[in-house]
Structures are given as C-alpha cells and as structure tokens.
A and B are shown apart, each in its own frame.
Chain A
Amino acid sequence: MSTRDLFTLRNSHFRIGVGITAAILIVTAIAGFIVLPFAQPWVKFADVWDAICSAAGVPQRAAGVTAPEQGKRLSEVVLTSNTLARPSQEAIGRGATLAQRCAICHGPTGVSRADSPNLAGQYAAVIYKQLHDFRSGARTNAVMSPFAINLTDQEITDLSNYYAYLPRLPAYHPTPQLPKPNIVIYGAPMRGIAPCGACHGSLDNKTGSPWLEGQSEAYMKAQLHAFAAGERRNDISQQMRNIARAMTPQEIEAAAAYYASQPPDVVKAVD
C-alpha cells in the first residue's frame, strides 16, 4: 500500500473523496460569490466580476463619497513609542527654563495655587497631548491658548519631559482624604462608565489620561461639565465626553471632591 495506489483515479476512495470535496467547494463558491450577491436587490453590481470581487472582500473605493466636513478641530496628536523616550538631562533642563513662564499659574514646583492643574510628576504623554491640542486649537482656553500657540514641537517635548521628571508633591492645601465613592470604584456599568482608575492611573493608565490625585476640585468639576456639555472636545473618540455625559451632577461632585482630597503619591508609577 504505497501512495501510488492511493493517489490514483483507479482508487475509488480517491475518486469519491476528492470528487465530492471539489463538488461541494464549487457549488458553495458559485452560491457564495455569484448567486447570493445578486440575491440582494438593494446592492447593485456592474457585472459578475464585480459581484465576485465584492464577495471575496477585495477592497473597493466607495464612489463619490467624501469625508464629512468637520466643524471643529479634533485632536491630531500622534505619539509613537519614541516621541518621549529617555529624555536627556539637557532636554529636561531646557524644559525647566521654558517652564518658568508657566509657574505663574502652575506653581514654581509644578503645584498650583490657582486652581490650575498640578503638573509636577504628571505623565509626559498627557502634557504633550494637551499642549499640542492647545496649539492646534483642538482645546481652547483664554489663558492657556496664547501660551501654547507659539511653542515648537521640541519645546513641547522638553516641557513634557521636565514636568514628568518633577516629584509628585502634595496639593497646596491638602484636605482630609475622603472615602472612595462608587462612581470612582465601579463606574456605572449600565451607563457605560468604567471605573476612573481604569484609565487614570490608580488601576491602569491609558496613554493620554492624566492622574487626578490632588488636582483642584474646582478645575476637575469644570472640566467634567465642559466634557458633558461638549464644550471641551479634544478627547479621542469622545472617550471622556461619553462618560461625563452619563454622569449625574452629584457623581461629578463626588468624584471631583474625592480626587482632590487624595495625595498624588498613590498614583501608579510610569515605566
């Protein structure tokens, strides 16, 4: 019993096995590539070849469709694994020099006394993205936009690395630590709200999401309301808008108060 006796048309198992398999393949191919495409009256094909290509999944350019006009600018920040990798001491030093003009609001040590965000020890990717968004107009703020508008790419990178390099200090006016509200621990699964920590650092950090511990309560509340109202729209794919819209005013209140009362040293470290 060699393969010569097996792979030959004289062998009835070979004839039947290969024959039936090929027949099924041909019948299903005709059905799948020709009959069924034309069985959908709402789809128009130029010819049989067009139907076959469509059923095979050949990429086709939809004719005459143009991208919808975008009313407002969206975030266009591109971050690769090299963008902020391993900053040199000089780069951090350049950032420190540039940061002197930020100190008036964000504090000389990166901790604000003016309800602006604390930047000391913030994730570099966060600062990088926000500065780019302010510069492009994807995010606007009467005070911040004019500062960002003239920054070069290099300056933005240096600033991000400098602030990320600073130690995370307690807030200027620490308040007693509040217990975690449910919206922070669990989110609200039925409303599509994940726990805040799933992105914001206490459980996991998703690129571009800031840690929030010790930030100004007033600032966080204002941002959540701005997201909910669609006034702020530089979150990619509406990630934060979708959440803020689904939060109740009480939940916004509770989340902001909770985070403001936390010391920032609990935040997950960055690799």
Chain B
Amino acid sequence: MLVNRKLILAHFWLAFAVFGIALTLGAWQMFIRSPIGTWLSNPELYYRSLTAHGTVMGYVFPTLVAMGFGYAISEAALQQRLVGVRWAWVGFWLIVAGSVMAVIPIALGRASVLYTFYPPLIGNVFYYLGVVLVVVGSWIWVALMSVNLRVWRRAHPGAPVPLAMFANVAGSYLWAWTAVGAALELLLQIIPVAAGLKSTIDAGLARVFFSWTLHAIVYFWLMPTYIAYYTIVPRAIGGRIYSDSMARISFILFLVVAMPIGMHHTFADPQVGAGFKFIHSAFTALVALPTLLTVFTICASVEIAARLRGGRGMFGWIRALPWDNPMMLALAFSFIMLGFGGAGGLINMSYQLDASIHNTQWITGHFHLIFGGAIVIMYFAIAYDLWPHLTGRELIDVRLIRTQLWLWFIGMIVTTFPWHWVGILGMPRRMAYFDFGDPAIAPQALSVTLSAIGGFILLASGIMFIVILARGMRTPKIDAGPYRFALAVHQPATVPVALNTHALWVALMIGLTLTNYGYPILNLALSSGTSVPAVYVGAQ
C-alpha cells in the first residue's frame, strides 16, 4: 500500500539528481588529477569540486534515499497511510533549502573546507547552516518513523513489527544519535567562528565530535542496503528469509556497536588517549559481527530460493539462481564488493596497520568500494524494485538495467583496485595534482590512469541509471499490485519484547557513547589553551 507516492518519488528524484551532479564532479576529479588531464592552474577549483562532491555524496544523497525508502517501508510494511505527511514535506523542503544554501558558497569558492569541515579551516557560515538544515530535515523523518511505528503498535498491540519497519526505525534512531556529534561540532564550535563571534577554535575537540558522527554515519548509509538484502532480495528471487530473528539481531547489533567506535578515525591524533583508541579499536572489531551474520543469513536465504527452483548439490544450486533478475545481479555484485571492501576495512581498523594507509588514496579507494559500490548498487536495485509501484508503470528495459549494473560493478572495480594500490605506495589523498614526471611516482601513472577510466565507466553507468528511471515515467500504465516484502521461512507469530522494540538497544547505544566518548570530550572541552586561530577560506 503506497499512498504518498509523490512524496517518495520526490525524495528519490532529488536524491538521484544531486547524485548525477556529484558523480560528474567525481569523474572530473579523477580525470583532472590523473596523468591524462593537464594540471589545474587553480587547485582551489579542485577543492571546491571535492567539497561539493563529498557533501552531496556523504550527506544529501544517502539521506534522501534513506528517507524516501523509509516512507515507502512505513506505508508498505505497516499497511498504514503515512501519519504526518505535511511534516514529511517540511523535511523535504528543508533539505532542498539546506542543499541550495550550502552549494552557493561552495560554488563561489567560499567554503572549500571539504565535507569533513577540517577546522581550523573555516568557510562561509551559510555552508554550515545549509548542512544543519539538511540534518534537521532528516530528523523530522526520524520522528515520523517513530510516530508511525507507535501508531501502528497501538492498533496492533503485541504483534511483531514487520522486519522492514523494525530495521528502518533502528536505522533512523542510529542516524538521530550519530548526527548529534557533528551537530555539536557545528553549533558549538564552527558556526560561532564562521559567524565572526569567535576567532579561535579547538580543532582537536572538533575532530573528536566529528568522529562521533563519522563512523556510525556509514551504517546509516548502509541501512537501506541491508534492509534490501533481507526484505527485498529473497522475495524478488523467489526465496525466503532464512531467519527473522537473525535479521533483527543484526540490526540491533548495528545500533549498539556502530556508535562507540568512531575514534578509529583519530588513531593519528595526539589529543586522544591511547587507552580510548584501544577500546574503540576493539569495539570496531565487533562491528564485523552483524555483517558476518548478514552475509550468512542472506546466503542461506538465496540458497533456499535456488533449491526451490530445483538447484542441487553442494554448490550446484548456485547455477539455479535467476541470474537474469537484476536484483540477483545487484546482490551478487554488492556482496563481492562488500567482501573486498570489508577485507580492506580490517586494515583500517587496526591501530598499527592504519598508520601505513592513513590519509592515503587507499582510504578513498576503500570507501568508494564499500559505499559507492556495495551500498549504492543496492540503492539502484531498491529504485528499480520500487519504481513500478511508485509510477504505476513498468520498467521495460530489463537488459539495459542489467547492463547498467554490470557497468557499475566493473567501473567500481577498475576505479578502486588501482586506487587502493597507489595508496599502499603512499600517494596522499585530497591532492589536486601529482607530478607524474617525477621518477619517484612515475610508475603510479598507469594505476591512476586506470582509475580515471573506471571513473568514466561509472559516469556512463550513472547516466544510464537516470535514463532508465526517467524512461520508466513514460511507459504504459500497469497495475503493479501491492508492494510486498520478503517473508521468513518461519514467519514469527510472536517476537520477544527485546527484539520487537528498540528501547534497550538505544539505551545501550547511548550508554556506550557516554563511556567511550564522555571523558575524551570533557577533557578537551575543559582544558584551556587547546584552541588555535581560525583560518578563513578566501579571507584576509
């Protein structure tokens, strides 16, 4: 039951429109700093582009996808009209306003601070206010998800919350809490300086606040993908979810352990004590658990589908899978990229190994593989799956869809594998150009060129994606039927309170944040002499 289709479509279209722009900037960045482009005479342009690309890809695009998908889940899984539609539109328009407000100073070169803000670098205040508006808009969504679940619960006392909605609300709570770190950094530290009320800033404290957001935000990006793994893929390929409880436990684990681990982004920072770095590192190791559970459960669910289709043997069933189904393809690609990306993540999370790849191109290669690859390819799949139900029209270009997914996968591998490699060789990230004429880095020219070619493949795939969706708005009308989520092998009749509500896990999430962040933040906030003069972008 999808009633507010316009609302959901608005979120998706805005998401994919800004994605298209940011993708083009990404391809340009790849090209311009590779040996096939000429050096930029003004490196500032690179940082302008990088700020826009990072801000859109990191904040605006995934947030809009999570919101649009969240509204769709709320209506389709709960079989209930969305409560608070007017508020949802307010949230949407806040995001539009915030994005415009942020992008103008970026385009003018007044906010080339990159999406990680990088204090004591300070840009135009409207950039930060724009980001705040985007976050506030998304918080409205968080509240609405919670309200809608509550309304449903009242009508269905004691009934198990549908898995998709349970996970969706978990993701929204995770986002609400993890965004607090960056919000504190912006409101207490950066915006007062950008507005001219102060001229110094505690950059070390700002980095700690940002790390509060920076890790769990990646699980917020990941949520729609994991929800699609569990609740769309098995249905789309004719299987069932292997275990409903396992799925719930995975989402619960994300809620608990995604938060207290962000300091693995500050391993190289002197202002954080080594003991806290160790605790965060140890908890980071735990966060592999829900992903391993998921990989196991989804493989089992897929096997069920294969065996239902007559698949036999230890591995023979793999051939019986519906490989021409875009959802199957997307899942396989996503898992492969998740596997490689996860292996790379093991290096990032270990205190010692991290030192050799810290701030190198390895990092950008890594998160493009996981985020741009494993996660975003499932965003595509979600859009393809939902589109007929949103537009009431069929997506007829199934071959084009498969080609698009193949190109995204190939493009991502071609882009990110050499990207990792040059990182290991020590090439720093966030550089506008490299002198490949120098014998010291001349051998890396080939790898960087390959990455740039991969970037163009990705651009082509991204354009195809948008074209497919746009064409899908004009095909003949069909009745797509009700939108359904996958069922479990044993669809639960009752679920224990702890696996049907979020309160316990939210409490643990907040508790662990206090234990793991409380002292480092207080220590920095209360010490004097830790602030440095702000450096204003483009100012005297």
Contact = CB atoms under 8 A, between A and B. Distances in A.
B356 interface: no
Contact of A33 (B275, B497, B512): B275
Interface string B249-262: 00000001000000
A227 B461 CA distance: 52
The 5 A-B pairs of least Cβ separation, nearest first, read A57-B273, A55-B275, A13-B498, A32-B278, A32-B275
Given A14-B498, A17-B504, A57-B271, A190 B440 contact: yes
A56 B275 contact: yes
Interface in A77-113: 80-81
Given A32-B275, A190-B438, 6 more contacts: A5-B497, A14-B504, A21-B511, A31-B278, A56-B273, A57-B273
A185 to B, nearest CB: 5
Interface in B456-496: 496
Contacts of B438: 190
A25 B279 contact: yes
Interface stretch (A67-75, A144-152, A197-205): A197-205
Given A1-B158, A11-B497, A32 B540 contact: no
Interface string B185-227: 0000000000010010000000000000000000000000000
B85 interface: no
A195 B41 contact: yes
Contacts of A80: 199
Nearest to A184: B41
Nearest to A59: B527
Nearest to B528: A59
Contacts of B503: 3, 6-7
Interface stretch (B91-99, B361-369, B427-435): B427-435
Given A3-B503, A31-B278, A57 B512 contact: no
A84 B82 CA distance: 57
B500 interface: yes
Interface stretch (B5-13, B329-337, B395-403, B515-523): B515-523
Given A190-B441, A198-B43, A270-B540, A6 B273 contact: no
Interface string B277-305: 11100110010000000000000000000
B435 A188 contact: yes
A187 to B, nearest CB: 9
The binding surface of chain B is classed by DSSP as helix
B313 to A, nearest CB: 38
B417 interface: no
8 contacts: A1-B501, A11-B497, A17-B256, A36-B278, A55-B273, A189-B433, A189-B435, A195-B43
A198 B39 CA distance: 14
Contact of A28 (B278, B500, B511): B278
Interface residues of B, number: 49
A29 interface: yes
B272 interface: yes
A133 to B, nearest CB: 18
Contacts of B41: 180, 185-186, 195
A180 B41 CA distance: 10
B538 interface: yes
B229 interface: no
A221 B353 CA distance: 45
Contacts of A123: 540
A11 B498 contact: yes
A58 B271 CA distance: 9
B276 A56 contact: yes
A116 interface: no
A271 interface: yes
B274 A21 contact: no
Contacts of A52: 275
Nearest to B499: A13
Interface string A179-220: 010000110111000110110000111010000000000000
Contact of A37 (B43, B158, B275, B496): B275
Centre residue among B275, B282, B503, B504 by max chain A CB count within 10 A: B275
Contacts of B496: 13
Nearest to B539: A271
A54 B273 contact: yes
B95 to A, nearest CB: 31
Contacts of B511: 21
A194 B511 CA distance: 46
Contacts of B42: 195, 197, 203
A248 B129 CA distance: 46
A218 B286 CA distance: 64
Centre residue among A31, A36, A59 by max chain B CB count within 10 A: A59
Contact of A6 (B158, B272, B504, B540): B504
Nearest to B494: A1
A57 B523 contact: yes
Given A17-B505, A58-B523, A270-B540, A32 B497 contact: no
B508 interface: yes
A125 interface: yes
A48 interface: no
A17 B39 contact: no
A171 B150 CA distance: 75
A18 interface: yes
Nearest to B529: A59
A188 B436 CA distance: 11
Given A204-B44, A204-B538, A32 B274 contact: yes
